[in-house]
C-alpha cells in the first residue's frame, strides 16, 4: 500500500514540486489563511489553498487545471501566504516552479498574456544591455501586448520629471550577459 | 574622522524612474561622511520577471553582481531597492544552501561567488551607519504624522531575510520617531501594493495601492514613508488609478525614508529629488531641532 502510494506521489505534479523545490503540499490542512491573506485571490480562478488542494488529489485533471490556471500568473510573489501559513507550506517557490512548468508544457493561460509579455520584454531589455531600459521596455511591451494607448499620458510627465532616460545604460561586459541568457532562459526554450 | 566606505548596488530603478531615491541615499550618506562604492559593471538583478520565468536565470543575474562585489573587495553591500535586496538575499541563501546549484551558477556566470558579502537593505544601513550620527546632525524635527509602509519584500520571507516582524514591523517607525515624527499604527503596513504588475495588471495595482493610500489618509497621516522604488512608483505615480478606486482624490504625499532623513538634516529639497514626485510634497514648517529625541527599542531587529 505504502509503496504504491509513494509511486503515485513521485509521478505526480506534487511529487515533482517536492523534488524540485522541497515544498510539500501534503502538509497543508486547508485552513485557508493563504487565500484569506492573498491580495490577488479575488482575481484568481483558484485561490492558493484550492490550488494546493488540487495538487493534493494528484488527479490528472486537477493538475491540468493548476498548470492552465490564471492563479499561477496572477500571483504577485508578495510572500504573504508563507508569512501566515501555520504549516509553513512555502507557496511562492512552488508558484515559480508551476509557472516554469506551465511554460515548458505550453499550458499558459491566455488571460496571463499581458503579464508574460511584460516579463519577456523586461528580460529582453536586460539581455541586450545588462540593465533595464525603461523607455525600451514600455515600447516593447506595448507592441507585444497591443496595448498601444495605455499610459500614453504617463511617459511625458515622467520624462518632464527626469524619471525617464532616452538612452539605455549599457554594461561593459555584454558578452557575459549574453552568455548568462544562453545558459539559462534560452537553453530551456530549445 | 575616517570616511566609512560601503559597497553599493543602486539597481535599475534608481538610475531611472526612481532616481530621487538614489539622490536622497547619496545625499544623506555624503552629509554623514559615508562613501558608497558602486559595484563595477553591475547588471540588473532580474527582478520579478526572471524568477517568474527561469530559476537559474533568477539566481545567475544577482550572483554575477555579488561575485563582482566580492572581487572588488567589498564587505558590505547596501541595496536600497527592496526588490533587488530580496533577489540578492534569496540568491545568497539558495547558493549557500544548495551546493549543486552553487556550482551550476558559478559555471553560468563564469565567476565564483564565495558568499562573504553582508547584504543590507536601506533600513539596516540606516540603523547601522546613520542613526547614531543623527543627534549631532539633525537641523529640523520631522514633526509630522506619518504612516510607515514596508510592503512585502523588506520583511518577507522572514526565514531568509531575518529582518523585523512580518506583520507589524517597527524599524522604519523607530527611525521616523527618532527624527521627531509621530508614526501611526495602521492596517496596511505590509500589504502588497501590486509591485511589478504596475504596467501589466494596472487594475489590481489601483485596488491594492488604493487601500493603502486610503487607510493612511483616513488615519490622519500627513505622509507615507517608503523604502522601495516599486512601492513608491505605485503609490505616487498610480494616483489616477488609486483615486478612481477610492472614488475621491487623496493628496497624501509619498516620501522615501531617505528623503525624510534628508529634510531633517536640512538638505535642499531639490537635491533630495522631491520635485520629481507626482504628488506634490507640500510638507514644510519643520520645527528647528531642539533636544535629542529618545526612542525606545532603537535596535529592534536584535530582539527578533
pLDDT for A10? 64
Crossing angle of helices B55-71 and A91-104, in 10° steps, is: 120
Domain range enclosing B26: 4-120
Using alpha carbons, list the distances in angstroms from residue B216 to B183, B187, B209, B211, B219: 11, 8, 11, 9, 5
pLDDT for A96? 97
**In angstroms, what separates the C-alpha of B184 from chain A's closest C-alpha?**
22
The answer to whether the Cβ–Cβ distance between B199 and A138 falls below 8 Å is yes
Q: Which residue in the block uniquely carries the three cell numbers 497624501?
A: B252
The answer to whether the Cβ–Cβ distance between B47 and A122 falls below 8 Å is yes
Residues B144 and B204 in one domain: yes
More confident residue, A149 or B100: B100
Length of chain B: 304
User: Which residues of chain A are within 8 Å of residue B205 when distances are taken between CB atoms?
Assistant: none
The answer to whether residue B208 sits within a structural domain is yes
The answer to whether residue B128 sits within a structural domain is no
Give the residue-averaged pLDDT of B147-157: 94
CA angle B12–B112–A189, rounded 5-degree value:
65
Given a contact cutoff of 8 angstroms between Cβ atoms, the answer to whether A74 and A44 are in contact is yes
A85 has pLDDT over 70: yes
CATH number at residue B274: 3.40.50.11810
A64 touches chain B (CB under 8 A): no
The predicted-structure confidence for B285-302, as pLDDT tens digits, reads as follows 898 988 777 776 655 544
- DSSP line for A62-110: HHHHHHT-SHHHH-----HHHHH-TT---HHHHHHHHHHHHHHTT---G
**In angstroms, what separates the C-alpha of B294 from chain A's closest C-alpha?**
32
**134-163 in B: which are within 8 Å (CB) of A?**
152-153, 156-158
Which of B85, B120, B155 is the C-terminal boundary of a domain?
B120
**59-78 in B: which are within 8 Å (CB) of A?**
60-61, 64
**In angstroms, what separates the C-alpha of A79 from chain B's closest C-alpha?**
6
Given a contact cutoff of 8 angstroms between Cβ atoms, the answer to whether B109 and B63 are in contact is yes
**In angstroms, what separates the C-alpha of B139 from chain A's closest C-alpha?**
28
| pTM of the predicted protein model | 0.93
Residues B184 and B42 in one domain: no
Going A27 to A31 to A32 to A38, the CA torsion angle's sign is negative
CATH annotation of A2-108 = 1.10.1060.10
- DSSP line for B80-115: -SHHHHHHHHHHHHHHHH-HHHHHHHHHHHTS---S
Length of chain A: 190
Portion of chain A with pLDDT greater than 70, in percent:
93
Tell me how far apart the alpha carbons of residues B265 and B259 are, in angstroms, rounded to a whole number.
10
The answer to whether residue B129 sits within a structural domain is no
Residues B157 and B288 in one domain: yes
Residues B144 and B82 in one domain: no
Using alpha carbons, list the distances in angstroms from residue A20 to A157, B101, B106: 45, 12, 20
Name B210's Cβ contacts closer than 8 Å, sequence gap at least 6.
Answer: B241, B242, B243, B245, B246
Crossing angle of helices B257-264 and B19-31, in 10° steps, is: 40
B53 touches chain A (CB under 8 A): yes
pLDDT for A147? 81
What secondary structure, in 3-state letters, does A31-71 show?
A: CCHHHHHCCCHHHCCCCHHHHHHHHHHCCHHHHHHHHCCCH
Cell of B72: 572588488
Using alpha carbons, list the distances in angstroms from residue B53 to A4, A66, A188, B138: 34, 17, 10, 46
Domain ranges of chain A: 2-108, 113-189
Residues B114 and B209 in one domain: no
pLDDT for A125? 93
Domain count, chain B: 2
The predicted-structure confidence for B69-121, as pLDDT tens digits, reads as follows 999 999 999 999 999 999 999 999 999 999 999 999 999 999 999 999 999 99
User: B115: how many CB neighbours lie within 10 A of its CB?
Assistant: 12
Residues B165 and B55 in one domain: no
Nearest of A42, A41, A39, A66 to residue A53 by alpha carbon: A66
A51 has pLDDT over 80: yes
Give the residue-averaged pLDDT of A102-109: 96
B96 touches chain A (CB under 8 A): no
Tell me how far apart the alpha carbons of residues B94 and B92 are, in angstroms, rounded to a whole number.
6
Residues B114 and B156 in one domain: no
What is the interface pTM, i.e. ipTM, of the complex? Answer: 0.91
Cell of A152: 500614453
* Interface probe with B: pick from A183, A186, A188, most Cβ of B within 10 Å: A183
Which of B60, B94, B120 is the C-terminal boundary of a domain?
B120
Residues B92 and B160 in one domain: no
SS3 A142: helix
pLDDT for B148? 98
Portion of chain B with pLDDT greater than 70, in percent:
97
**In angstroms, what separates the C-alpha of A4 from chain B's closest C-alpha?**
30
Residues B87 and B9 in one domain: yes
What secondary structure, in 3-state letters, does B211-271 show?
A: HHHHHHHHCCCCEEEECCHHHHHHHHHCHHHHHHHHCCCCCCCEEEHHHHHHHHCCCCCCC
User: Which residues of chain B are within 8 Å of residue A101 when distances are taken between CB atoms?
Assistant: none
Phi, psi values for residue B118, rounded to 5°? -105, 115
User: Which residues of chain B are within 8 Å of residue A80 when distances are taken between CB atoms?
Assistant: 152, 156, 190-192
Given a contact cutoff of 8 angstroms between Cβ atoms, the answer to whether A117 and A143 are in contact is no
Cell of A23: 515544498
Of A119, A138, A188, the CB nearest to B49: A119
The answer to whether residue B125 sits within a structural domain is no
Amino acid at each position: 500500500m505504502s509503496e504504491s502510494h509513494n509511486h503515485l506521489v513521485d509521478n505526480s505534479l506534487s511529487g515533482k514540486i517536492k523534488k524540485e523545490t522541497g515544498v510539500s503540499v501534503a502538509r497543508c490542512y486547508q485552513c485557508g489563511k493563504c487565500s484569506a491573506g492573498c491580495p490577488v485571490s479575488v482575481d484568481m480562478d483558484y485561490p492558493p489553498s484550492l490550488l494546493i488542494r488540487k495538487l493534493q488529489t494528484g488527479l490528472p485533471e486537477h493538475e491540468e487545471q493548476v498548470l492552465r490556471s490564471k492563479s499561477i500568473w496572477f500571483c504577485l510573489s508578495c510572500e504573504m501566504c508563507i508569512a501566515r501559513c501555520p504549516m509553513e507550506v512555502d507557496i511562492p517557490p512552488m508558484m515559480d516552479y508551476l509557472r516554469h512548468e506551465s511554460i515548458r508544457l505550453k499550458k499558459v493561460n491566455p488571460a496571463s498574456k499581458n503579464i508574460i509579455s511584460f516579463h519577456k520584454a523586461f528580460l529582453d531589455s536586460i539581455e541586450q544591455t545588462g540593465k533595464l531600459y525603461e523607455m525600451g521596455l514600455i515600447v516593447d511591451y506595448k507592441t507585444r501586448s497591443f496595448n498601444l494607448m495605455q499610459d500614453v499620458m504617463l511617459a511625458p510627465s515622467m520624462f518632464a520629471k527626469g524619471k525617464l532616460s532616452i538612452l539605455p545604460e549599457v554594461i561593459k561586459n555584454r558578452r557575459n550577459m549574453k552568455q548568462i541568457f544562453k545558459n539559462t532562459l534560452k537553453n530551456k526554450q530549445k | 574622522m575616517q570616511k566609512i566606505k560601503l559597497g553599493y548596488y543602486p539597481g535599475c530603478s534608481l538610475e531611472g524612474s526612481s532616481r530621487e531615491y538614489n539622490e536622497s541615499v547619496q545625499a544623506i550618506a555624503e552629509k554623514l561622511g559615508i562613501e558608497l562604492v558602486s559595484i563595477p559593471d553591475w547588471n540588473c538583478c532580474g527582478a520579478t520577471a526572471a524568477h517568474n520565468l527561469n530559476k537559474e536565470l533568477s539566481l545567475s543575474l544577482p550572483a554575477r553582481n555579488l561575485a563582482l562585489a566580492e572581487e572588488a573587495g567589498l564587505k558590505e553591500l547596501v541595496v536600497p531597492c527592496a526588490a533587488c535586496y530580496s533577489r540578492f538575499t534569496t540568491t545568497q541563501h539558495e547558493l549557500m544552501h544548495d551546493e549543486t546549484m552553487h556550482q551550476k551558477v558559478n559555471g553560468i556566470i563564469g565567476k565564483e561567488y564565495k558568499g562573504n558579502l553582508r547584504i543590507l537593505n536601506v533600513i539596516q544601513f540606516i540603523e547601522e551607519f546613520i542613526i547614531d550620527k543623527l543627534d549631532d546632525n539633525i537641523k529640523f524635527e520631522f514633526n509630522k504624522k506619518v504612516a510607515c509602509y514596508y510592503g512585502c519584500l523588506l520583511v518577507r520571507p522572514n526565514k531568509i531575510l531575518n529582518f523585523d516582524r512580518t506583520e507589524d514591523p517597527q524599524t522604519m517607525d523607530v527611525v521616523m520617531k527618532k527624527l521627531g515624527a509621530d508614526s501611526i499604527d495602521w492596517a496596511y503596513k505590509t500589504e502588497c501594493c501590486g509591485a511589478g504588475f504596475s504596467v501589466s495588471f494596472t487594475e489590481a495595482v489601483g485596488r491594492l495601492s488604493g487601500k493603502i493610500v486610503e487607510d493612511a489618509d483616513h488615519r490622519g497621516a500627513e505622509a507615507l514613508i517608503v523604502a522601495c522604488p516599486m512601492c513608491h512608483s505605485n503609490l505616487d505615480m498610480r494616483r489616477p488609478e488609486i483615486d478612481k478606486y477610492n472614488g475621491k482624490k487623496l493628496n497624501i504625499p509619498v516620501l522615501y525614508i531617505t528623503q525624510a532623513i534628508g529634510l531633517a538634516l536640512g538638505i535642499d529639497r531639490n537635491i533630495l529629488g522631491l520635485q520629481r514626485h507626482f504628488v506634490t510634497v507640500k510638507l514644510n514648517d519643520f520645527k528647528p531641532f531642539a533636544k535629542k529625541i529618545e526612542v525606545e527599542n532603537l535596535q529592534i531587529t536584535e530582539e527578533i
